[in-house]
Amino acid sequence: MAIREVVKLPEPILRKQAHKVTDFGKDAQKLINDMIDTLHDEPGVGLAAPQVNVSLRWIVVEYPLDDSKENAKPKIFVVANPEITQISPETVKGIEGCLSVPNLFGEVERALEITVTGLNRQGKKQKIHAKGWLARIFQHEIDHLNGVLFVDRAEKLYQPEEVEEGSSV
C-alpha cells in the first residue's frame, strides 16, 4: 500500500471518461488499497481513480451511513463501475470542494437521495442507497469518472476565505 499523488487541474485525465473495470486481481486490489491510503492522507471523503492518474471506473468513499448520529463510525465504500440507477426529484444545494481543484469551493445542487449500483472490490454486485451528504459524495465521485468536476456544476465559486466558517465540504 502507498499514498499516491492526487492530480490537479488542468491534468487531462480529469476531463476524460474512465474505462470500465474488468479486472479484480492483484493490481486492482493494490490500487484500491492505495486509494484508501491516499484518501486517509488527504482531507477528503471520496476519491476516484482518475484523481490518482488511473483511468478506471473505481471510487472509494468514506462516510458514516447515518451522519445524524454524533461520533458515527465511517464506512468505506469501494465501487467499480458505479451507476446511479435511482435519483430523487428533491435536490439540495451544498458547498463542495475537491482534492483535484485546490483552493476553490462551489455551491452545487445535487439530488437528495440516490441509489448506486456497481461491483465491490471482489467483482460482486452491490446496491447502495444514499441520502444527504453521502448521496452528494457519490454523485461528486461518479462525476469524476465521466470527466465532470464540481466546478462544471457549481452555481457560484468561492475562495476558501469566502466560505463561511463551519460550512461542511
Phi/psi at 71 (5° precision): 60, 30
pLDDT at 165: 52
Q: Where are the beta strands (DSSP E) in 55-136?
A: 58-64, 74-87, 91-98, 101-111, 113-119, 125-131
Fold topology of 12-162: Peptide Deformylase (3.90.45)
Phi/psi at 138 (5° precision): -60, -45
Tell me the domain boundaries of the chain: 12-162
Kindly list the catalytic residues. 141
pLDDT at 56: 98
What is the block-wise mean pLDDT of the chain (169 residues), using blocks of 10 residues?
Answer: 94 98 98 97 96 98 81 92 98 97 96 98 97 97 98 93 54
pLDDT at 73: 87
Which residues 6+ apart lie within 8 Å of 71 measured at CB? Answer: none
Cα 14 to Cα 122: distance, rounded to the nearest angstrom: 26
Judge contact between 149 and 101, C-beta under 8 A.
yes
Cα 127 to Cα 106: distance, rounded to the nearest angstrom: 29
One-letter amino acid of 126: Q
Bond prior to 10 in cis (omega within 30° of 0): yes
Judge contact between 105 and 169, C-beta under 8 A.
yes
Which residues 6+ apart lie within 8 Å of 127 measured at CB? Answer: 85, 115, 116, 117
pLDDT at 164: 56
